Amino acid sequence: MASVDEAPAVATNGSNGVAAGIPVENPATGAVIATVPNLSAAEVAELAAKARAAQAGWEALGFEGRGAILNRAQRWVMDHADRIIETIVSETGKTYEDAQLAEIAYAGSAFGFWAKHAPEFLADERVRTESVFVKGKKLVVRYAPVGLVGVIGPWNFPLTNSFGDCIPALAAGNTVILKPSEVTPLTSLLMAEGMRECGIPEGVFQVATGDGETGGALVDEADLIMFTGSTKTGRKVLARAAETITPVQLELGGKDPMIVLRDADLERAANAAAYYSMNNGGQVCISTERVYVEAPVYDEFVDKVTEKVRGLRQGEPTGFGTVEVGAVIFPPQLDIVERHVADARAKGATVLTGGRAREGAGRFYEPTVLVGVDHTMACMTEETFGPTLPIMKVADAEEALRLANDSPYGLQASLWTKDTARGEQLARRVEAGAVTVNDAQVNYAALEVPMGGWKTSGLGTRHGAGGIRKYTKQQAILVTKLAPKKDPHMFPYSARKSRLLGRALKFLYGRGKRA
Ligand code: NDP
């Protein structure tokens, strides 16, 4: 297990001073397992200076040189998978399976993907223009690294959603400072150790442990911020970045709806509802957070889901196969889950299973199914981010779509029907950055397609060509090889030349008007 005792965080961060320590807790046991430094703004500035000094050398390595280190890191993750999983489980209390599937698998695939595709996504583009004024000139668009990227991450996926966004930023030739959540900093520190072992030059990748103020200081220092976290904090980051006109990418909260139509494969839909609402303890930005089921199949679906959720084992994960649902990672999150269930109950909802925090050591909330819910209840309109699943009966697909879109969020959604052509058509009417038909969440593994929220769920996307181009500045280059001593539009102006130009413009652009 990575701990600051084993790998001193001061050395790991490259910082000289420790303002104050932040204790790291294992949420499944309540034990404090490490303490990490809470970096001050001055210390973040020190890291930024180191990063800036290292950037040109890193960029000069080219795609091949950087790709070699990223490929080595891919092997390092696989060779050290057990240790990384233990570290993730120790600071999150999630199951070993959640750490393996959603974190190790992601990091393994992302290192290889960006090492392989960065050269293609960021290659110079030769452009042909329609403008007669620049015909014959060479036009190139190139993608230059922004310089220093600040990545600020949440606590629910310390590897995937904190470190994961550093990989394309590095592949593009940037240096990176990662500010992990103060709740789960150990995985990031372990990855810093791994990157050093893989030969990343000093200062290219650094971890700034600390709280929200450390994150704010990073916003002041970086050339671009990649933020993943709550919509509330995302707004603060955007406002702070406005001071320095620093570009910001935001991956924020969600309230993903699941729409179950009457012709759905109910067994698969019920298995998926149980899994995609409860995996990672429901602490997934693209968790299934609310379900709308067409009336004719509502009772059968609810019975199936309730039976499956009731059978889930919960507790301290002690190895693979020991429990299905782990701990509530962040203490205040338990209050949110309890508030949503209490509010639903007070307004007439019924709890079919679960519905309370577990007694004893660690922080757990029982896997919970709610029915008799509607949009007056917080559990249907606000992000819960816990192991709860509210299910609502609807008359038809139209009502389901209306309710699915009745949300400030637009991260993901899923539709369940055997008529996949209709499913695909309905998917286009859902206001979300990704919609799956007869599936959920797995689109995240397809690094070729964009992943990002609409509405208040985000700004920008990760994955795909856009997922690395966002870490660059576009530069247009125009080169004139053969040219007269003077172009016709140059001084001096003359009435005759201007009349000729006017006629030429009418000839070129006037046809559309006549048509
Ligand atoms: P928060 O918004 O609370 O925190 C995210 C990060 O921002 C943390 O590192 C936090 O530090 C830091 N931070 C806090 N205040 C500031 C500030 N003023 N300036 C800069 N940084 C700051 O999110 P959570 O950690 O609670 O994560 C859960 C949220 O993340 C959920 O809403 C979830 O939906 C979302 N999420 C979205 C994903 C997506 O891809 N769209 C993926 C995963 C999660 P500290 O922890 O030290 O306070």
Write the CA distances from 354 to 248, 370, 395, integer angstroms.
39, 9, 27
Given the CA of residue 254, which atom of ligand 1 is nearest to it?
A: 34
Write the CA distances from 131 to 151, 509, 511, integer angstroms.
40, 11, 16
User: What pLDDT does 1 receive?
Assistant: 32
User: What pLDDT does 515 receive?
Assistant: 52
Minimal-distance CA residue to ligand 1 atom 8 = 181
Judged on CB neighbours under 10 Å (0-12, 13-18, 19+), 81 is middle
Ligand 1 within 6 A of 256 CB?
Answer: no
Q: Residue 203, by phi and psi: left (phi above 0), alpha (psi -120 to 50) or beta?
A: left
Per-residue confidence band for 15, with pLDDT thresholds at 50, 70 and 90: very low
Per-residue confidence band for 96, with pLDDT thresholds at 50, 70 and 90: very high
Ligand 1 within 6 A of 384 CB?
Answer: no
Q: Distance from CA of residue 486 to its chain's centroid?
A: 52
Percent of the chain surpassing pLDDT 70: 95
Ligand 1 centroid to 180 CA: how many Å?
9
Ligand 1 centroid to 25 CA: how many Å?
18
The mean pLDDT value for 480-485 works out to 94
User: What pLDDT does 389 receive?
Assistant: 98
**Cα distance between the two ends of the chain:** 72
Q: Which of 25, 43, 97, 251 is catalytic?
A: 251
Q: How many CB atoms lie within 10 A of CB 342?
A: 13
User: What pLDDT does 20 receive?
Assistant: 56
pLDDT digits (tens, 9 = 90+) for 21-38: 999 999 999 999 999 999
Q: Which of 166, 198, 285, 379 is catalytic?
A: 285
* More confident of the two residues 220 and 6: 220
The mean-pLDDT minimum among 3-7, 51-55, 477-481 falls in 3-7
Given the CA of residue 285, which atom of ligand 1 is nearest to it?
A: 34
The mean pLDDT value for 89-110 works out to 98
Minimal-distance CA residue to ligand 1 atom 16 = 212
Structure tokens at 115: 């090492």
- Helix (H) / strand (E) element for 343: namely helix 331-346
Pair type for strands 434-437 and 454-455: unpaired
**Could you please report the per-residue DSSP string of 34-55?**
EEEE---HHHHHHHHHHHHHHH
User: What pLDDT does 513 receive?
Assistant: 57
User: What pLDDT does 10 receive?
Assistant: 37
* More confident of the two residues 360 and 174: 174
Ligand 1 centroid to 140 CA: how many Å?
38
User: What pLDDT does 365 receive?
Assistant: 98
Give the chain's mean pLDDT: 95
Ligand 1 within 6 A of 89 CB?
Answer: no
* Closest C-alpha among 127, 182, 131 to residue 154: 182
User: What pLDDT does 511 receive?
Assistant: 77
CB-hemisphere CA count at 13 Å for 355? 14
Q: Looking at the predicted structure, is the pLDDT value of residue 19 above 70?
A: no
Per-residue confidence band for 17, with pLDDT thresholds at 50, 70 and 90: very low
User: What pLDDT does 462 receive?
Assistant: 97
**Could you please report the per-residue DSSP string of 122-163?**
TS-EE-----GGGTTSEEEEEEEE-SEEEEE--SS-IIIIII
pLDDT digits (tens, 9 = 90+) for 254-309: 999 999 999 999 999 999 999 999 999 999 999 999 999 999 999 999 999 999 99
Ligand 1 within 6 A of 164 CB?
Answer: no
The mean pLDDT value for 502-507 works out to 93
Do 180 and 227 contact (CB within 8 A), yes or no? no
Structure tokens at 72: 């080595």
Given the CA of residue 451, which atom of ligand 1 is nearest to it?
A: 40
Judged on CB neighbours under 10 Å (0-12, 13-18, 19+), 379 is buried
CA distance 14 to 31: 27
* Closest C-alpha among 216, 218, 221 to residue 235: 216
Percent of the chain surpassing pLDDT 90: 94
User: 370 phi and psi, to 5 degrees?
Assistant: -120, 140
Structure tokens at 189: 């520190």
Ligand 1 within 6 A of 383 CB?
Answer: yes
Q: Looking at the predicted structure, is the pLDDT value of residue 13 above 80?
A: no
The mean pLDDT value for 422-443 works out to 98
Q: Tokens 């993903």 — which residue?
A: 256
Instruction: Report the interhelical angle of 105-121 vs 62-79 (nearest 10°).
Output: 170
Ligand 1 centroid to 227 CA: how many Å?
7
Ligand 1 within 6 A of 326 CB?
Answer: no
The mean pLDDT value for 360-389 works out to 97
Query: What's the chain's length in residues?
Result: 515
Write the CA distances from 112 to 108, 237, 463, 495, integer angstroms.
7, 30, 13, 62
pLDDT digits (tens, 9 = 90+) for 236-253: 999 999 999 999 999 999
Residue 25 designated active-site = no
CA distance 358 to 428: 41
The mean pLDDT value for 160-182 works out to 98
230-241: burial string, b at 16+ Cβ within 10 Å, e else:
ebebbebbbebb
Q: Looking at the predicted structure, is the pLDDT value of residue 14 above 70?
A: no
Residue 285 designated active-site = yes
